[in-house]
Amino acid sequence: MIDCMHVAPCGDAFYSIVPSELASEVSMLILILFLALVAQGLTIPRSTTGNIWQPRVGASWDIVLSTSVLRPAPATEIYDIDMWSSEPRTIDSLHKQNHKIICYFSAGSYEPHKKDSASFPKEALGNPLRDWPSERWLDVRHPQVRRIMAARLDRAQQIGCDGVDPDNVDGDGNDNGFGLTKQDSINYINWLAGETHSRGLAMGLKNAGDIIPQVLANMQWSVNEECADKHECNLYASFARAGKPIFHIEYPKGSDRNDDEDVDGEEKRRYCEFSNSGLFSTVLKNMILDRWVQRCN
């Protein structure tokens, strides 16, 4: 939306100083430009203030996807939990204990055993994910894929989520099978944000550090995996500078160990001490994202 307050001359004043023929031509050019943007699938970023929940930078959090939150920690402000396995009574109980709830689902991959899996058209299923071979990349441009994701957001709203954590939105950087581009990912994330906010929910960007400038205005936070291990945390610092938290996960035990033993010494420092680390809400987790969590401080 064009803000008249920031365009001069504007409104009636514009038409009072410009000949009617020229004003008509300018209006037509503006309309053509807008329609061209729509045809390209581009989304004009909008403010996400208002009634959308905006957590603070440095907020404490935990992510538990493979099981339930059994004994919520009073000091943990936010829980990121699996949308499909959560029910309204679960979220209501956590709300009554003063926790905010982010609901996780995959927005960019097909998972064969979800309740809506049969709804995906075959032509929208791409290559398998490298680390999760049972999943397949989705053609996020496909209208049916977007209808399914809108229905998932309906569920998130209905069960009481405060926000959503849509995963696998960086298909353009992977062997997706469709030739998805960076612009495709930008368009999709901004579309998801619009759908999410229209339901009164907040949304964060999952990984996808290369498109932060194009989507930051529509995000309420970042959820990042392994930026310390990959030496790329500086990509995400712009979230904190914009007053939005960076929920950061590291997997110090790799994929072979999932136990309740803490890490310490140099191993812990490797994942907890990096440039601007004080801006990040870092948790150390098992790869299966169970109840075990270790914090940096």
Task: Give me the phi and psi of 167, to 5 degrees please.
Answer: -95, 165
Question: What percentage of the chain carries pLDDT values higher than 90?
Answer: 82
CA distances from 184 to 66, 151, 173, 196 (A): 30, 21, 11, 18
Range in 38-47, 191-200, 201-210 with the lowest mean pLDDT: 38-47
Structure tokens at 212: 């932060």
3-state SS assignment for residue 255: coil
3-state SS assignment for residue 211: helix
Give the confidence band of 36 by pLDDT, cuts at 50, 70, 90: very low
Q: Where are the domains of the chain?
A: 1-39, 49-295
Contact predicate 155/107, CB 8 Å: no
- Amino acid letter at 190? N
Task: Give me the phi and psi of 18, to 5 degrees please.
Answer: -115, 135
Torsion angle, CA of 103/109/111/112, rounded to 10 degrees?
150
Please report, in angstroms and rounded to a whole number, the separation of the first and last CA atoms in the chain.
Answer: 43
Per-residue pLDDT of 64-83, as tens digits, reads 999 999 999 999 999 999 99
Question: Looking at the predicted structure, is the pLDDT value of residue 177 above 60?
Answer: yes
Can you give the pLDDT at residue 188?
99
Give the confidence band of 16 by pLDDT, cuts at 50, 70, 90: very low
Contact predicate 121/144, CB 8 Å: yes
Cα radius of gyration (the chain): 21
Per-residue pLDDT of 248-277, as tens digits, reads 999 999 998 999 999 999 999 999 999 999
Residue 253 forms beta bridges with which residues?
Answer: none
Give the confidence band of 172 by pLDDT, cuts at 50, 70, 90: very high
Can you give the pLDDT at residue 170?
96
Can you give the pLDDT at residue 156?
99
Give the confidence band of 3 by pLDDT, cuts at 50, 70, 90: very low
Per-residue pLDDT of 69-124, as tens digits, reads 999 999 999 999 999 999 999 999 999 999 999 999 999 999 999 999 999 999 99
Which CATH superfamily includes the segment(s) 49-295?
Aldolase class I (3.20.20.70)
Give the confidence band of 297 by pLDDT, cuts at 50, 70, 90: confident
Cα-based angle 130, 136, 139 (whole degrees, multiple of 5): 120
Q: What pTM was estimated for this model as a whole?
A: 0.84
Structure tokens at 296: 């940096």
pLDDT, the chain, mean? 88
Can you give the pLDDT at residue 12?
40
Contact predicate 244/221, CB 8 Å: yes
